[in-house]
Amino acid sequence: MNLFAAFQARFPTDRAAPFIIERARTHTYGDLERETAGIANLLIALKVKTGDRVMVQVEKTPQAVFLYLACLRAGAVFLPLNTAYRADELEYFLGDAEPAVVVCDPGAAALMDLCRGAGIANVLTLDAKGAGSLTTQAAAQSGEFDTVAVRTADLGAILYSSGTTGRPKGVMLSHGALAANAATLHRLWKFDAKDVLLHCLPIFHVHGLFVALHTTLWNGTGMIFHAKYAVDDVVADLPRATVFMGVPTYYVRLIQHAAFSPELTRTIRLFLCGSAPLLEETFATFTAKCGKQIVERYGMTEAGMITSAHLDKPRRAGTVGWPLPDVTLRIAGENNAAVAKGDTGEIQIKSPALFSGYWRKPEKTAEDFTADGYFKTGDLAQIEPDGMVAIVGRAKDMLISGGYNVYPKEIETVIDGLPGVVESAVVGMPHPDFGEAGLAVLTLQPGASLDLAVVRAALKDALANYKIPKLILFAGTLPRNAMGKVQKNVLRTEYRAQWDNFLAG
């Protein structure tokens, strides 16, 4: 069962039907088949075998979508990376994943150097306009390709996810797991032949790559394709779409737009939101301004989508709906035992969409599962009387900024490595646009001095820009509990006034 073949069986009979709709040009389902065949033939010519990794750090273009689908066709494992990742981060991914092929922007000099150092011969380029050696070399290949037969358990993709300790982990996702989630979401969200999705999410994470793209492909319909989220462009194209998906920040910006109104959203039958908590205020203002309700869903790289509100039942702010029909969900407390109804505990699940483990880290995989086979999400929730799940917090030290997960540990490690620093702590603080944003507090050795610009420059050098704390402060000491552990909740309270002043500008 190859996921591509499962999609292809559902393509429209008329292959001239639109798949990717851009302002300047439309790519049809026939184009999809031809373009993916060319790239798949190229991968095979490069001796890529089933299970080999194709690591990709490129801007969002239709050609990048074709590259993903071509990897599926050729039995290769697609490994997308956030375009914001810096050389230090990329070096780790290269060493850990050992890709057979790397595709990057022609201007990505640092990554190309790293590939040379790692002895990776197959480096192809793809720029923000969809041009590069990948496109030219694929164009020289045949436009026909027999999709490689794979097993349900064979990997289709690896997506890296950072953690509260240690280095990022490669989340292994099989063809079967991805197909299961696509089919479930397609049915639950009632996609039909009239649907047109407005796609403006990045395609290196679960939300844009799987939730948005897979439901479209499973439906065999078209999507209006934006290279990134720009609210004016969204406003211009909403009246041509029927489905919109976004992280909460997309909605925060949309409801502030002067043109946001019932008329603007008239054609949209489904507004989906996820990847981070949606504020009750955003949920309510959205409905007040356009008369429609956002459908919240909750998911995770390791598990695909886990819960969703129902289309034909009222939704409630602060809840993420019910477990998907094929997901078994429990709220667990001490010793992984289910808590009493209504109590808070960790969300633990079984699902056909679950990952196959962390790449080359079986011990980390084992840590994330209970003895009776439930996956431990690290999210804290309660079940409401009608069965809806309300996420109330996280057991993991993580913040979500504009839909991107940020792990304080990564930032603290960079700061702690600077001369004169004793220690640091990073916490997520409320942010009107990003939901949460980072605050870093650091302490210095007696007599030491350090310029904040140096701290900021070191962070920018080492880490993707969205991970950089918005505010960095010096402190005499950090609050600790009796065990000597830094109390991050106390830190949040202590620095709240300074943070609010900072936001006020």
DSSP string for 149-188 = P--TTSEEEEEEE--SSSS-EEEEEEHHHHHHHHHHHHHH
290 binds, among ligand MLC, ligand AMP, none (CB under 5 to 8 A by kind): none
Contact pick of 28, 301, 401, 424 for ligand AMP (by CB under 6 A): 301
The set of residues, in sequence order, having a beta carbon less than 8 Å from that of 125 and lying 6+ positions away, is 103, 104, 105, 106, 132, 133, 134
Nearest residue to 388 via CA among 467, 315, 465, 470:
315
Return the number of the residue (56 or 70) whose C-beta is nearest ligand AMP.
56
Instruction: Examine residue 206 and tell whether it contacts ligand AMP (CB under 6 A).
Output: yes
Q: Measured from the CB of residue 299, what is the shortest distance to ligand MLC in angstroms?
A: 3
The two three-digit tokens of residue 267, written as one number: 């054609």
Q: Which one, 222 or 246, has the nearer CB to ligand AMP?
A: 246
377 interacts with, out of ligand AMP, ligand MLC, none, CB within 5 to 8 A per kind: ligand AMP
| Partner that binds at residue 394, options ligand AMP, ligand MLC, none, CB closer than 5 to 8 Å by kind | ligand AMP
**Contacts made by residues 312-315, CB under 8 angstroms, sequence distance 24+:** 315/283
Could you say which of 38, 176, 202, 408 contacts ligand MLC (CB under 6 A)?
Answer: 202
Classified as helix, coil or strand, 277 is coil
296 binds, options ligand MLC, ligand AMP, none, Cβ within 5 to 8 A by partner type: ligand AMP
Reported for 92-96, long-range contacts at CB under 8 A and 24+ positions apart, including other chains, are 92/167, 92/168, 93/55, 93/160, 93/168, 94/55, 94/118, 94/120, 96/167, 96/168, 96/170, 96/359, 96/360
Binding residue for ligand AMP, selected from 126, 138, 183, 276, defined by CB under 6 A? 276
Residue 277 is a binding residue for ligand AMP (CB under 6 A): yes
Which residue lies nearer to ligand MLC by CB, 104 or 320? Answer: 320
Q: Which of residues 350 and 456 has its CB atom nearest to ligand AMP in the complex? A: 350
Nearest alpha carbon to residue 434 among 394, 392, 388, 465: 465
Q: For residue 176, what are the CA distances in angstroms to 138, 206, 356, 372, 433?
A: 27, 15, 10, 22, 36
Minimal CB distance residue for ligand MLC: 402
Rg (CA), the chain: 23
Which of the 8 DSSP states describes residue 352?
T
- Piece of the chain touching ligand AMP by CB under 6 A; list 270-278, 335-343, 474-482, 495-503: 270-278
Minimum distance of ligand AMP from residue 245's CB (angstroms): 12
| Longest distance between any two alpha carbons in the chain, whole Å | 74
Out of ligand MLC, ligand AMP, none, what residue 474 binds, judged by CB under 5 to 8 A for its kind, is none
Contact (CB, 8 A) for 423 and 443: yes
Looking at residues 424 to 463 of the shown chain, list those that interact with ligand MLC (rule: CB under 6 A). Answer: 434, 437
CB 396 to ligand MLC: min, Å: 13
> From the list 133, 141, 161, 287, which residue makes contact with ligand AMP (rule: CB under 6 A)?
161
**Angstrom distance (rounded) from CA 129 to CA 131:** 6
Per-residue binder mask for ligand AMP (CB under 6 A), 405-434, x = binder:
x-----------------------------
Q: Edge to edge, what strands does the sheet with 328-332 contain?
A: 328-332, 345-350, 375-383, 389-394
How many whole angstroms separate alpha carbon 260 and alpha carbon 279?
A: 18
- In the complex, the smallest distance separating the C-beta of residue 181 from ligand AMP, rounded to whole angstroms, is 13
**Interface with ligand AMP in residues 374-393 (CB under 6 A):** 377, 379, 391
Whose structure tokens read 């483990």? 357
Does 394 engage in binding with ligand AMP (CB under 6 A)?
Answer: yes
Question: Which of the listed partners (ligand MLC, ligand AMP, none) does 217 bind, with a CB threshold of 5 to 8 Å by partner kind?
Answer: none
Interaction of residue 207 with ligand MLC, rule CB under 6 A: yes
Residue 229's binding partner among ligand AMP, ligand MLC, none (Cβ under 5 to 8 angstroms by kind) is ligand MLC
Q: Which of residues 88-107 bind ligand AMP (CB under 6 A)?
A: none
Among 142, 328, 465, 489, binds ligand MLC (CB under 6 A): 465
Angle between helices 87-97 and 109-117 in degrees, nearest 10: 40
Which whole-number Å values give the CA distances from 344 to 247, 293, 321, 383, 393, in the listed order? 25, 26, 16, 8, 9
Tell me the C-alpha distance between 391 and 295, whole Å. Answer: 15
Half-sphere exposure of 136 (CA within 13 A, CB side): 7
Tell me: does residue 206 bind ligand MLC (CB under 6 A): yes
Residue 97 binds which one of ligand MLC, ligand AMP, none, with CB within 5 to 8 A depending on kind? none
Strand ranges, E, within 337-409: 345-350, 375-383, 389-394, 399-401, 404-406
403 binds, among ligand AMP, ligand MLC, none (CB under 5 to 8 A by kind): ligand MLC
Contact with ligand MLC (CB under 6 A) among 41, 249, 348, 424: 249
Alpha-carbon gap, residue 225 to 206, rounded angstroms: 17
Cα angle value 45/48/54 (rounded, 5°):
120
Which of 181, 275, 308, 401 forms a contact with ligand AMP (CB under 6 A)? 275
Shorter beta-carbon distance to ligand AMP: residue 4 or 359: 359
Site stretch for ligand MLC (CB under 6 A), options 16-24, 121-129, 339-347, 399-407? 399-407
Residue 79: name the closest of 87, 64, 88 by CA.
Answer: 64
Residues forming contacts to ligand MLC in the complex (CB under 6 A) are 201-202, 205-208, 228-229, 247, 249, 274-275, 299-301, 401-404, 434, 437, 465-466
Residues forming contacts to ligand AMP in the complex (CB under 6 A) are 161, 206, 274-277, 296, 298-301, 320, 377, 379, 391, 394, 400, 405
